[in-house]
Amino acid sequence: MLTTRDLVLSALFAALVAGLGMAPPIPLGFLPVPITAQSLGVMLAGALLGAKRGGLALLLFVLLVAAGLPLLAGGRGGIGVILGPSGGFILAFPVGAFVTGLLAERFATGANPLRLFAVCVAGGILAVYAGGIPWLSVVAGMPLEKAVTAMVAFIPGDLIKAGVAAAAAAAVRRAGVLPTAHA
């Protein structure tokens, strides 16, 4: 059963993910596409809130995007964007946060940044790509290999984000302000 605190934490992290989308994208010189920080929010929500509350946070975010709020990076929103080529990645956000949280609860309960990094890569990158790439392939009508190739460009940026998320999560855990992730 969700406590008032659980509701508040999930809502706050959903708002954080939206806030990360509104900040100017981090331009990375060696990539043609600006890296947006929203998948950083996926990893942070999972790593800090755990599977249930983290997944819920991203579910709230996706619902509000579907309702038409312009919360995706660049001010996009609406059911149309979700049904579009990048929609699979957005729909996979809650799953990514859930997986990150689940793995963190099992394998990275402490403040070890390497373990947290592995967890963020598994949940925030692998799980999200696993949903997003097949969707991209089907909706954009491109063969799966091409969709995979197209995503390679995003991997360095996503790895950087996983590193940032892991370092930040580790530091927050060391600070001891974390609400215990009890059921």
Partner 1 sequence: MLGLYLHRDSPIHRLGAGVKMGGLLAATLLVLALPGAVGALGAGLSGLFALWLAKLPLGRVLRELRAPVLMLGLLFGVQALVAGTGWADTLAAVARFAALILLATLVTLTTKVAAMVDLFERVFAILRPLGVNPAKLALMLALTIRFIPLLAEQVREVRMAQQARGVERSIAALFVPLLVKILRLADDLTAALDARGYDPTDDARPGTSPNDAVGPNNKEAQPPC
* Tokens describing residue 50: 């755990």
76 in helix, strand or coil?
strand
State the nearest-atom distance from the C-beta of 44 to partner 1, in Å: 7
State the nearest-atom distance from the C-beta of 143 to partner 1, in Å: 8
Nearer to partner 1, 47 or 127 (CB): 47
Annotate 137-155 with DSSP letters as a single string.
Answer: HHHTT--HHHHHHHHHTTH
Per CB under 8 A, residues contacting partner 1 are: 1-5, 7-16, 18-20, 22-24, 26, 32-33, 44, 48, 56, 60-61, 63-64, 67-71, 73-81, 83-86, 140, 142, 146-147, 149-150, 153, 163-164, 167-168, 171-172, 175, 177-180
Residues 50 and 103: beta-carbon distance below 8 Å = no
Nearer to partner 1, 15 or 118 (CB): 15
* Tokens describing residue 116: 């947290």
Instruction: Estimate the crossing angle of helix 87-107 against helix 113-120, to 10 degrees.
Output: 150
Nearer to partner 1, 177 or 183 (CB): 177
* Tokens describing residue 20: 């990360």
State the nearest-atom distance from the C-beta of 101 to partner 1, in Å: 15
* Tokens describing residue 27: 């331009």
State the nearest-atom distance from the C-beta of 179 to partner 1, in Å: 6
